[in-house]
Structure formats: structure tokens, C-alpha cells
Amino acid sequence: MLTLGRPNKFALFSLNRDFGHHAVCQSVTVPARLPSSAQQSTPDKFKNHSKQFIEAAIKSNSMSVKKKIDINGEHNYAISGKNIIVRSDRQKMSAQDLSELAEKAKAVLNETEKGINIVEIEDTEKLQPKYEVKTLRQAFADSKDEEETFRMSRARALATWNARTKYCCQCGTELTDAEELTAKVCKTCNRSIFPQIEPCMIVLVNKGDKILLARHAQRNTVFYSCLAGFIEAGESAEHAVAREIEEEVGIKVKNIKYRGSQSWPFPDQLMLAFTAEYESGEIKKQEDEIADAQWFDRSDLPTTPNPGSIAYKLIHQEI
């Protein structure tokens, strides 16, 4: 549930820099630079909050607003792009840690019912020595707890969604935060906008003892991986598997089988993993997408993705 300024709900407090330096609190938009008379008349509910919240003053240019972190939150995450900030001593991040990091944050979120606190940080250059930065991919690989992986993925996904979702796509009205749902609301159109996911397929094709791996032409060009692509409107995941394989390498497959899934919040993918068997055709790569595609023996693989991704699990038969 997503709301502003309500300690018992999902609370989101963000510096809306795109809104002309305004700080949003509940359904009221308060200019960051208030005249002294206005400051004195600020409602008490914006001054006095429960003791269970730590207040952190966040400064951006000449503006300063109060951000709140639920001190009782068990699960605390500092996100910076595709990275996560962790404690150097490998201890769990605490709410107090996040209150310190919040001084550098551009957004602070908390989801009380899940015990999750999130801060989003742009500049990690001057972190205290007790913190270090690691990639989320590495954090996924290190995690032995599916629920912890879920919470890290959610932290990244919600931080990205919050940063990107500012205005109604139909009328351009500035969005506000829903009080009862994890959503934003356009009061002009009476629409609710929820965090989105982009369904994708990823597939490992087998041909006897060999597997098909490809190197992408535009991204992740240093390693070979499984074929993957977005599921298009109107098609099933299995249809997308067959289509993507034929489009990218020109072969037909059979016996498409679902193997598992992984949230991949970069920014908002849900990866659906499959295996398939070669049926017919010769490799003919799609030049603008695929730099190289070959059949490889499992005992002699090229450089492949590191642990932490579902591609790694497919290639190494972990699912």
C-alpha cells in the first residue's frame, strides 16, 4: 500500500525535483522555500510524528525537507542505480544506517507492512568506510534466501518506478500517491498507475550434447548467454520463445519447457526461463542483435554470465 505521511501504510517521501523544487507530503504540495510566516503556520501533523520514526534532513541545492525511516523496519536497503550499498562488516543494514545514508538520498521509501525501508542514492563517492558498494547481481548471487532476494528486487524496482513515474500519461497531471494501494493516482483522470513489470523470456536450446549460446551485438558483449527477448502483446511466453529464436538465429525448436523465473529489476523485467530442443535449420544470426551464435559443448564453454542470474542457472543446469 502506497501513501504519503501515514506511518501505518506504505509511505513514500520524495524530493520531486522535476516539480519545480517542491516537497510532497500527503496530498498537500508544500513549496521547498517557504516564507517565514508560512513556516510558522505549518500544520502540527507535519511537525510531530511518532517516536518510531527517525528524522533525517535531506538537502538538495537550497532546499531541505524532513524524511522519515521506520526505525522498526527489519529490512533496510540503500539502492544506487544497479548497485546496492551494504555494510563492510557483512552485518545487516539497520534503520539507523539508512538514516545516516539518507543525508545523501534523493528519495526515501518505507513499506511498513513488509518491514522494508529504502533509500535511493545517486552519489556513492564519499561513503563512510563502514559501507561498500556491490552490484545487485552479486547480491543476488550471495543471497541464499529467496525472500531476501525478493526484497532487494522490490527495493530496486520501487525506487526506479518512483523516479520515473511523475505525470499522468493521458493528461499530464502531476501524480499523487494512493492511500490504500502501492500506486500513484491521477486526480484529473481518476486513474491508478501501478508499478509495472515487463515480461521476458530467456531460453537455453539443446542439440544433443551441445547448447546454443550467443553474444549480443549491443550489450553484454563480453560473454555468451542464452537467447532472450520481450514477450509481445497478444502472444504466450512459449510463442515468444519460438519467435525470438527464429528471429535471432534462424532455427526452429520443439519441446519448449518452462523452468523457472526471476525478477530482473533493470529496470522492471520478469524473466521467464525455458529450455527447448533443436528441431531444424541452420544458424543465421540477426546482424543488428547478435554478434555471434554457436553450439557449445558443456565441457568447453566460453565466458558466460556470472552467478546471480537465471541465465547462469540455465547454462549450469541448476534449474
DSSP string of 239-277, one letter each residue: HHHHHHHHHHH--EEEEEEEEEEEEETTTTEEEEEEEEE
Please report how many Cα atoms fall inside a 13 Å half-sphere around the Cα of residue 46, on the Cβ side: 18
Q: Which domain holds residue 184?
A: 10-193
Q: Which residue has the cell 561498500?
A: 132
**58 pLDDT exceeds 50?**
no
Question: Which CATH number does the domain housing residue 270 bear?
Answer: 3.90.79.10
**216 pLDDT exceeds 70?**
yes
pLDDT (0 to 100) of residue 130: 94
Check whether residue 152 and residue 253 sit in a common domain: no
Check whether residue 167 and residue 226 sit in a common domain: no
Structurally, how many domains does the chain consist of? 2
Check whether residue 172 and residue 221 sit in a common domain: no
Q: Which of the listed residues 193, 220, 249 is the one where a domain comes to its end?
A: 193
Summarize the confidence of residues 46-71 as an average pLDDT: 40
Segment (H or E) for 110: strand 105-111
Check whether residue 209 and residue 187 sit in a common domain: no
pLDDT (0 to 100) of residue 286: 96
126, part of any domain: yes
3, part of any domain: no
5, part of any domain: no
Q: Which residue has the cell 547480491?
A: 139
Euclidean distance between the first and the last CA atom of the chain, given in angstroms as a whole number:
33
Check whether residue 174 and residue 271 sit in a common domain: no
Check whether residue 150 and residue 17 sit in a common domain: yes
Give the pLDDT band of residue 111 (cuts 50, 70, 90): confident
What span, in angstroms and rounded, lies between the C-alpha atoms of 50 and 58? 19
Query: Which amino acid, 204?
Result: L
Check whether residue 248 and residue 147 sit in a common domain: no
4, part of any domain: no
What span, in angstroms and rounded, lies between the C-alpha atoms of 236 and 56? 47
Whether 275 and 314 have beta carbons less than 8 Å apart is answered as yes
Summarize the confidence of residues 113-120 as an average pLDDT: 86
Check whether residue 102 and residue 213 sit in a common domain: no
128 burial class (0-12, 13-18, 19+ CB within 10 angstroms)?
Answer: exposed
245, part of any domain: yes
Give the pLDDT band of residue 43 (cuts 50, 70, 90): very low
Q: Which of the listed residues 176, 193, 210 is the one where a domain comes to its end?
A: 193
Check whether residue 183 and residue 251 sit in a common domain: no
**Residues 177-206: tens digit of each pLDDT:** 887 778 899 999 999 999 999 999 999 999
203, part of any domain: yes
Check whether residue 62 and residue 123 sit in a common domain: yes
Distances (CA, A) of 97 to 138, 221, 236, 285: 21, 37, 44, 49
pLDDT (0 to 100) of residue 317: 92
Q: Which of the listed residues 160, 193, 226 is the one where a domain comes to its end?
A: 193
